[in-house]
Amino acid sequence: ETGVTQTPRHLVMGMTNKKSLKCEQHLGHNAMYWYKQSAKKPLELMFVYSLEERVENNSVPSRFSPECPNSSHLFLHLHTLQPEDSALYLCASSQGIGAGRNQPQHFGDGTRLSIL
């Protein structure tokens, strides 16, 4: 139990569907992250939120839309995805900026997304 819960664990969707991934952290952290993990590629940081404000958006296509309604919840809204978007999507949290150096990130178990 890492304190970071992601749902659903698996998702299969067509290219025209709209779905959302959910992440919830029970650690009292102030920063949350979305990563994409594809086979044979490095972990890709997609978005960073600090105190519910987006502080980083790494050239992610607009078909991925993040939302952070409060410091405990993070969503990734998906629409009109492509087959190359099939991957494991990982959420993480950390204490955040101002908490001092060397704070590790805590990861959820991920959502395995398959685009048909």
Partner 1 sequence: GDSVTQMEGPVTLSEEAFLTINCTYTATGYPSLFWYVQYPGEGLQLLLKATKADDKGSNKGFEATYRKETTSFHLEKGSVQVSDSAVYFCALSDGSTDKLIFGTGTRLQVFP
Interacting residues with partner 1 (CB under 8 A):
2, 4, 6, 31, 41-43, 45, 48, 56, 90, 92, 94-97, 99, 101-110
How many Å apart are CA 41 and CA 38, to the nearest integer?
A: 6
Cβ 97 to partner 1 shortest distance, Å: 6
The token pair at 29 is: 């952290």
In this structure, the chain runs to a length of 116
CB atoms within 10 A of CB 99: 12
- Smallest distance from the beta carbon of 94 to partner 1, in angstroms? 4
Nearer to partner 1, 83 or 104 (CB): 104
